[in-house]
A and B are shown apart, each in its own frame.
Chain A
Amino acid sequence: MTSKRILLICRKAPYGNALARETAEIALAAGAFDQELAIAFIGDGVWQLLDQQDSADIQQKNHQKLLSAFELYGISESYAESAALAERNIDHSRLSLAAKPVNQQQLADLFEQADILLTV
């Protein structure tokens, strides 16, 4: 199997819809198939990164727990859109995943460098 650089773009908030969870499952699958994978959290997707998530009251699985499996699957490259964090007043110190903050130009460069963009 040839290897390509895949950039997975996560745009969805962690709860209210199954998409964030199902996107994370794509990441884990790509990790299991030994693909070079980077993940960019943009727009509402940055909510996924918040630390101390507690989803018990809404009877949903904890999304932060799922993201914490990334490292186990060899996924270490992740980015968070700086503007999206700022718009939502999320300080970088509140993130659970070591996602690197990137500005719009850096995001554009990441899109450019990837062979495949996988957007959810």
Chain B
Amino acid sequence: MRFSLMILGAPYSSQSVATALRFTQAAIDAGHSFHRVFFYHDGVNSGNALITPPQDENNIPQQWQSLADKHGIDLVVCIASALKRGVLDKKEAERYEQTNHNLNNGFTISGLGQLVDASIESDRLITFGP
């Protein structure tokens, strides 16, 4: 089965993000595939490159990057949710005349159309969080 996920929870606040990561790994181990992970609402914070977890905690952004990299999963951060929560890529930072940008490698910023597309292209769309 082909899955997509919508993540609503913020990393390090909501257990849902860690659960989503474990679900993804378990489903891949069971032979399923993933089309896209769409980060929405507070979930967009997973795309923040400045996240600096203590050493005895999981590095959530890194876990997403490594899963996505290994299994060709598209990591998309919703633009409307991201901008107002201060997660910007270089292009958006320039557009809004901000001096810094902080979207992590492996994530892209795009619109809700990507969530609609994910629901069309996948057999199941599973929500995690908030």
Contact = CB atoms under 8 A, between A and B. Distances in A.
A22 interface: yes
A22 B40 contact: yes
A117 B125 contact: yes
Interface in B39-70: 40-41
A100 B111 CA distance: 30
Interface in B75-130: 80-81, 111-113, 115-117, 119-120, 122, 124-125, 127, 130
Interface stretch (A23-31, A49-57, A60-68, A102-110): A23-31
Given A22-B81, A118-B125, A2 B113 contact: no
Interface residues of B, number: 19
B127 A119 contact: yes
A100 B6 CA distance: 27
Nearest to B119: A116
Given A18-B41, A19-B41, A29 B116 contact: yes
A35 interface: yes
A120 B116 contact: no
B8 interface: yes
A4 interface: yes
Contacts of A17: 130
Contacts of A39: none
A18 B81 CA distance: 10
A19 B8 contact: yes
A117 B3 CA distance: 12
A29 B6 contact: no
Nearest to A30: B116
Interface string A29-59: 1101101000000000000000000000000
Contacts of B122: 116
Interface of A: 1-4, 6, 17-19, 22, 25-26, 29-30, 32-33, 35, 116-120
Interface of B: 6, 8, 40-41, 80-81, 111-113, 115-117, 119-120, 122, 124-125, 127, 130
